[in-house]
Amino acid sequence: MTINRRKFFKVLGVTGAALTIGRELKAAPTGKADIEFRGVLYDSARCKGCHGCEYDCADANNLPVPEPAKNMAPVRKTSETKRTVVNEYNTSKGKVFVKMQCMHCNEPACVAACLTQAMHKTQAGPVIWRGEKCMGCRYCMVSCPFDIPKFEFHSPNPKIQKCDMCYNRLKTGEMPACAANCPNDALFYGTRRQLMSEARKRIVENPKLYVDYLYGEHEAGGTCWMYLSPVPFKELGMKTNIQKASYPALTKGFLYGVPTIFVLFPALLLGIQQATKKDNETGEE
């Protein structure tokens, strides 16, 4: 990626665009082996559907207090006022709950989509939105395979709302609000490596309870939030058509073609122009 970007800038500079200042790109992991993203393991088998995390989330992020739990529809979507929701599904094993929020992909499509670096993958793991950079183009929403970024369509100064894994709490050494307050231990906060070994442990210790699949291990190239479930994930309304490779990779081929065309085309065009010009001149004489 780095080489490509440099080339891209060089070419733009040569062609008179005067783009010389570039900054380090943090869309993808930088390749250093010691980076450990943090995330949360959500265990559907433990969640009792108390919706407490929804209230904690609203409280921690200054969002409107959600309606009383008894008035909540069984299946809802996250919205510009709700960064997380807990949904209830009638499955082959009875009632199962599932919490929805940003998955915090390892290589987020939204970050690759953002042309102002407003969407940002932090070294700690959370994908955060920075309002002072965002121009409100909503390309992150178009690109996100999980449909997570939400836009305040009814505001003259609209924000993108999405879970940021309580990044400000993380910086002070606290856990995300939902994980810190879950009364049923359904949310396990830790490094991605810890989440995976914990998840494997639970599956091995209780093979009858869980389906042998860790959602988020490979989805979209791996995510920081991961899910355990007693039923196939399709029954929980989870997107099961998500590709296992990273989404930014889908545009890689095109972006790699850019410097090539930038170098080859002008030369080729100039050549053709010169060739046809001479033809005409000799033809006229």
Residue 150 has phi, psi (to 5 degrees) of -120, 145
The alpha helices in 15-155, defined as continuous H runs, are 52-60, 109-113, 139-143
Of 143, 51, 55, 140, the closest CA to residue 97 belongs to: 51
Say how far apart CA 189 and CA 42 lie, in whole Å: 9
- Report if residue 132 touches other proteins, rule: CB under 8 A: yes
Residues 108-127 that bind other proteins (CB under 8 A): 109, 112-118
- Report if residue 145 touches other proteins, rule: CB under 8 A: yes
Q: How far is the CB of 11 from other proteins (least distance, A)?
A: 10
Residues 258-277 that bind other proteins (CB under 8 A): 258, 261-262, 265-266, 269-270, 272-273, 276-277
- Report if residue 171 touches other proteins, rule: CB under 8 A: no
**Residue (38 or 150) nearer to other proteins, CB:** 150
**Residue (75 or 204) nearer to other proteins, CB:** 75
- Report if residue 234 touches other proteins, rule: CB under 8 A: no
- Report if residue 167 touches other proteins, rule: CB under 8 A: no
Per the CB < 8 A criterion, the answer to whether 39 and 188 are in contact is no
Say how far apart CA 220 and CA 127 lie, in whole Å: 14
- Report if residue 248 touches other proteins, rule: CB under 8 A: yes
Query: Residues 22-51: x/- map of binding to other proteins (CB under 8 A)?
Result: xx-x-x------------------------
Give the amino acid at 134.
C
* Residue showing tokens 């082996």: 33
- Report if residue 256 touches other proteins, rule: CB under 8 A: no
Count of residues of this chain found to bind other proteins when the rule CB under 8 A is applied? 72
- Report if residue 213 touches other proteins, rule: CB under 8 A: no
Helix or strand run (H / E) with residue 275: helix 249-284
| Residue from 35, 45, 63, 141 in contact with other proteins (CB under 8 A) | 141
- Report if residue 128 touches other proteins, rule: CB under 8 A: no
